[in-house]
Amino acid sequence: MILNTGARTDTAQYYSEWLLKRFEEGFVYTRNPMFPHKVTKYELTPEKIDAVLFCSENYKPLLPRLHEITDWANLKSFAAQSSFFDGDIK
């Protein structure tokens, strides 16, 4: 499964701690925006996750702890997308 974070909110910028906790606990609940009463539980386990896609305008809050996700799942690559990324990460 490809996990796309940040499609509806900037998870990397505003909710990094929450995201890392979800990986630690091994699951996440998501609400369908078209049918708010429909909630789905997804397993976040190394066996289920093949890749993680981050969509963000600011990766800085997540970068110092990104290794926690790569170590957890032994992932070798990530995709990052941002329309405002200027390449200047300090």
| Residues 6-33, mean pLDDT to the nearest whole number | 91
On whether residue 19 sits in a domain, the answer given is yes
Instruction: Output the pTM of the full model.
Output: 0.75
**Whether residue 17 has pLDDT greater than 90:** yes
Six token digits for residue 66: 């990104």
Buried-state track 34-46, b at ≥16 Cβ within 10 A, e below 16 = eeeeeeeeeebee
What type of residue sits at position 31? R
Number of neighbouring beta carbons within 10 Å of residue 15: 17
Convert the pLDDT of each residue in 35-82 to its tens digit. 999 999 999 998 888 888 888 888 889 889 988 888 877 665 555 555
Please count the structural domains in the chain.
1
On whether residue 21 sits in a domain, the answer given is yes
Instruction: Place 90 in a pLDDT band, splitting at 50, 70 and 90.
Output: very low
Q: Are 42 and 30 in contact (CB under 8 A)?
A: yes
Which residues form the domain of 60? 2-81
Convert the pLDDT of each residue in 28-46 to its tens digit. 999 998 999 999 999 999 8
On whether residue 56 sits in a domain, the answer given is yes
pLDDT of the residue at 86: 56
Six token digits for residue 9: 């909110």
